[in-house]
Amino acid sequence: MEILGTTLRVCVDNLEVMVPFYERLAGRPAQRFERGGVSVAAVGCFLLMSGPEAELEVLRRVAATIAVRDVEEAAQVLTASGARVIAGPVGTPAGRNLIAMHPDGTVFEYADQGGSATG
């Protein structure tokens, strides 16, 4: 499994207030979208999320998003190494993802850009 990069997940109270800070920090504009009632802004290596506390509580459990070349391969390596896939792989608008718990209890999202929400 090849790890291509990591995205840091940051839950914020007010996305509109925080996006300009992260845009200046990353030196690029945010890409915004909504997912499951949560407003999201991807800015460089940061994924800012704002929304209902019940939704954010779940999102806070995931330490980071790890970009991989192939989520199916990641699932195989993770399970063979002692991790437990707790959700996915599933298609998303941006590719595919899965959620895995490592043997130490840390939870990560693994994502690729292959496939789609419909494929």
Residue ranges of domains in the chain, CATH in brackets: 9-60 (3.10.180.10), 61-119 (3.10.180.10)
Of 27-31, 41-45, 84-88, 90-94, the one with minimum mean pLDDT is: 90-94
DSSP 3-state of 22: helix
Q: What is the model's pTM?
A: 0.78
Closest CA relative to residue 71, chosen from 107, 112, 99 = 112
The predicted-structure confidence for 13-55, as pLDDT tens digits, reads as follows 999 999 999 999 999 999 998 877 899 999 999 999 999 998 8
Under the banding of pLDDT at 50, 70 and 90, the label for residue 103 is very high
What residues form DSSP beta bridges with 52?
Answer: none
Closest CA relative to residue 112, chosen from 9, 3, 20 = 3
pLDDT value of residue 94: 73
Closest CA relative to residue 31, chosen from 17, 48, 14, 18 = 48
DSSP 3-state of 118: coil
Distance CA 48, CA 46 (A): 6
